[in-house]
Amino acid sequence: MTSIGVLSARDLSVHRGGDVLLSGVSLNVNAGDRIALVGSNGSGKTSLLRVLVGETAPSAGQVQIAGDLEVSYVPQDVAAAPDRTVRDLITEGLSGLESMRSELEQLHTRIADADPAVELDAVLARYQEVFDLHEARDGWGAPLRLAQAKEALGVNHLDDDVPLARVSGGERVRLQLAVCYSSQAGLVVMDEPTAHLDVAGSDWLVQWIVTTKAGVLVATHDRWLIDAIGARIASIDVARKSIIMFDGSYGQFRRQMKKEQARREQRYLNYESEVQRITASLHRPTRVGHARSMRDRNKLAHNLHGGRVQKAAATRINARREELKRLIAKPVGAPAQMVCFQPRFGSAPDGAGSDRLVEATEFALRVGDRCLVDGLEFSVERRSHLCIAGPNGSGKTTVLKAVASGDSLAYPGLLFAPDLRIGVLTQHVELDQSGTVRDLLEREAIKHDLNTHQAFQQLLHTELVVADDLTRPVSSLSGGEQRLLQLAILSWTPVDLLVLDEPTNYLSFEFAERLEDGLRMFEGGIVSASHDRWFLEHVPTSIIELG
């Protein structure tokens, strides 16, 4: 069967400010395609999606959408203008179907008045065309689909007149997903759609993606999702500023990534070895004369030969210096280090139960008249990782806030170890958006009483912060880059207990795995909440389910 092309991008170049993110990129999406766009944080995934859906213009190249096909876009963050309501979001998302119905009504009126000899055939043909398009998208079924999707995604409680500014960011994204599903557009483009979905919501999304006839392009860091929808992987190659297509599972893609990482590490080792070899040779004493004694009493010939030897030695030394200059001019970067967190203590204190950091006994939480949690029991010790799972609204974040408080008086039922120091990673980025990355990090380094130069070097070695980004405004960073900045600041502080809310949200595959390795090595205790199926299956030592 011949695939029907719905999107064609040719020789695209995408810039961010003065930086070239992508150059000469081409991408095709056909009806029924499921393509996962992946790449490191800040590599240009969101920028590319915005170009493809027409929100911004490419620096070069062109994007073509097939015929009358409509594009439905779910951004990473849904705007909440002060005067915009839930009804406005729904109306905008279904405007394509509404336009079809409006045109059908106008054509119906024109049919009655059309001159059979002049325009009747053309009007009838257009009516049939629009009618078929509307039927293909089951336009009359949109209200029912919307109601079903809102219930499945937990946003059916939102009245149409509610201002979007009073709706949480996660609920706005889930509402946009529901509208996108109900519109039945021919091309669906989504940016990190599972970031605000619980397990049930992710299952619903997968069922929709694998059954739709539309072309689907989704930018994601969700490793489970890629395999669940059987997606082809479009990976952004930052070095080449291009896209590489990969057919296979995430596991196969991961193995390829590991091989490339091993090659990068070997190139670095070879580079370091060569630099050290040449440097050492330049520091060794060099014999510039010759050992042969003057046997024939020809002093002139003897000295001439010695001069040639001296000149040859100088030439070799200069050649080595030039070679060293070339190597230093094009350095091979050191492989990024694991994301490490510092335990505050060195060895376990003496005494029974001394490793226990926090314990919940018959713990209950209420919000207003609603009981979120009742009778919750758990214990977190050193080198243990408790993950809290459950549907949206079950109280995961509220429990984490209680644990992060370290306050037994405010939260009876929680018992904390004495003098417990807690490090917290919130679900939503809470960074000062004023100033540059360097400004923010310098303030945090001073706050933590750190040597600024040493602290910066630590971050650069982990690549949580890239040197070129130090002068960028914090507000210009992508969601993933701001997440890395949060982790960077958290990694500076020695703590006993880490409290992490959705720690892998927006992180690239590489950083998610390096974070997970760091968490496994952490000597303290960890309490986290996550919907990341891959994370849940591979990282925590225990899981409790709420709701």
pLDDT of residue 309: 61
pLDDT of residue 79: 86
3-class secondary structure, 21: strand
**Distances 282 to 275, 312, 321, 470 between C-alpha atoms, Å:** 11, 15, 8, 36
Options 3.30.1330.10, 3.40.630.10, 3.40.50.300, 3.40.640.10; CATH for 5-249 is: 3.40.50.300
**Distances 338 to 407, 481, 502 between C-alpha atoms, Å:** 32, 17, 19
pLDDT of residue 308: 64
Give the Cα separation of 496 and 420 in Å (integer).
Answer: 6
**Distances 393 to 373, 389, 396, 399 between C-alpha atoms, Å:** 11, 11, 8, 11
* Closest C-alpha to 432, from 421, 419, 441, 420: 441
Give the Cα separation of 402 and 410 in Å (integer).
Answer: 8
Residues of the chain where predicted confidence (pLDDT) is lower than 50: 1, 294, 302, 338, 345-353
Look at the pTM and tell me if it is higher than 0.95: no
Options 3.40.50.300, 3.90.220.20, 3.40.630.10, 3.40.50.2300; CATH for 356-545 is: 3.40.50.300
Single-letter amino acid code for the residue at 63: V
Do residues 6 and 31 touch, judged by C-beta distance below 8 A?
yes
Q: How is 353-413 classified by DSSP, letter by letter?
A: TTTEEEEEEEEEEEETTEEEEEEEEEEEETT-EEEEE--TTSSHHHHHHHHHHT-TTTSTT
- How many CA atoms are closer than 13 Å to the CA of 511, on its beta-carbon side? 26
* Closest C-alpha to 143, from 179, 191, 190, 95: 179
For the chain, the straight-line distance linking the first and the last C-alpha, in angstroms and rounded, comes to 46
Q: Give me the residue spans of the domains in the chain.
A: 5-249, 250-284+306-335, 356-545
pLDDT, tens only, 118-152: 788 888 999 999 999 999 899 999 999 999 999 99
pLDDT of residue 259: 80
356-545 matches 5-249 in CATH topology: yes
Total Cβ atoms within 10 A of residue 194: 25
Q: What is the dihedral of CA 7, 12, 14, 19, to 10 degrees?
A: 160
Map tokens 């029974």 to a residue. Answer: 352
- State the DSSP code for 186: S
